[in-house]
Amino acid sequence: MRVIAGTAKGRTLRSPRTGDTRPITDRAKESLFAILGPRIPGSRFLDLFAGTGSVGIEALSRGAAHVTFVERTASALADIRHNLDATHLAANAEVRGADVFAYLRGNPAPFDVIFVAPPQWRGMWTRTVQQLDQRPGWLAPDGVIVVQHDPSESTETPLRHLHLSGERTYGRVRFTFFGPLGHEASGRQASGHHTRGPSIQRARASGGASPAPPGQS
């Protein structure tokens, strides 16, 4: 893993040493930040299930004002701190050794971008989004939530304060985007998709994209 762009471009990051993390490929990470684009400079970024911190560190390298990393695994926490030191980005970071669900039960503070990448096939991404939906103070009024998951984990998620704005798939990595209700335009811009009425246009990257689950196109 490496930092793709910004002040720490080219820096190699320590890879995960535990199966409890969900690492992201450089290709998928580069595609994600191409989508998020101008949202990153000056933003407050929350990296949940942070693993080795690769995504949050990419945000810092590209100009995020502050990133909070939340991770409970001791080895991953050590990797995050090592990677922040190696990239000289620790000054604008907070590393929280905590269970994500316990952290989200705390007093909410608004973030512009919330990245969610829990361990696979445990139903944890939907639980996290539902908890964020129940505590809308975690997301800024024009913010975006990005969930990284395997395409086979896609499922309908009942929500009251958030809306699904789009999806992008890169091999076995799918990014699902959510935004606050009432800010559908900014949510579409963040995810690179457009909506027509209640339907959502789900796009998949060309070349190596996996088929959509049943009921999606």
Least confident of 16-20, 25-29, 75-79, 153-157: 16-20
Work out the percent of the chain whose per-residue pLDDT is above 70: 81
Q: What 3-state DSSP class applies to 118?
A: coil
The helix or strand, by DSSP H or E, that contains position 188, with its residue range, turns out to be helix 184-191
pLDDT bracket for residue 173 (50, 70, 90): very high
Q: Tell me: the pLDDT tens digits for 38-65?
A: 999 999 999 999 999 999 999 999 999 9
pLDDT at 215: 32
Residue 182 vs residue 38, higher pLDDT: 38
- Burial code (b: 16+ CB inside 10 Å, e: under 16) for 55-90 equals bbbbbbbbebebbbbbbbbeebbebbbebbebbebb
Q: Which residue from 179, 204, 110 is spatially nearest to 213, judged by alpha carbons?
A: 204
Rounded CA separation 191/179 (Å): 10
Asked if pLDDT for residue 25 goes beyond 80, the answer is yes
Considering only residues 210 and 137, tell me which one the structure prediction assigns the higher pLDDT. 137
> Which two three-digit tokens encode residue 18?
């535990």
Q: 95 has which bridge partners?
A: 69
Is pLDDT of 197 > 70? no
Return the pLDDT at 196: 26
- What is the chain's mean pLDDT, rounded? 85
Cβ proximity of 187 and 39 under 8 Å? no
Class of the 26-200 domain? alpha beta
Environment class of 1 (CB within 10 Å of its CB; exposed 0-12, middle 13-18, buried 19+): buried
Predicted local distance difference test score (pLDDT) of residue 187: 44
pLDDT band at residue 70 under the 50/70/90 scheme: very high
Over residues 183-211, the mean pLDDT reads 39
Q: What is the pLDDT of residue 24?
A: 86
- Locate all alpha helices (DSSP H) within 37-137, ordered by sequence: 54-61, 74-87, 100-104, 124-134
pLDDT at res. 15: 83
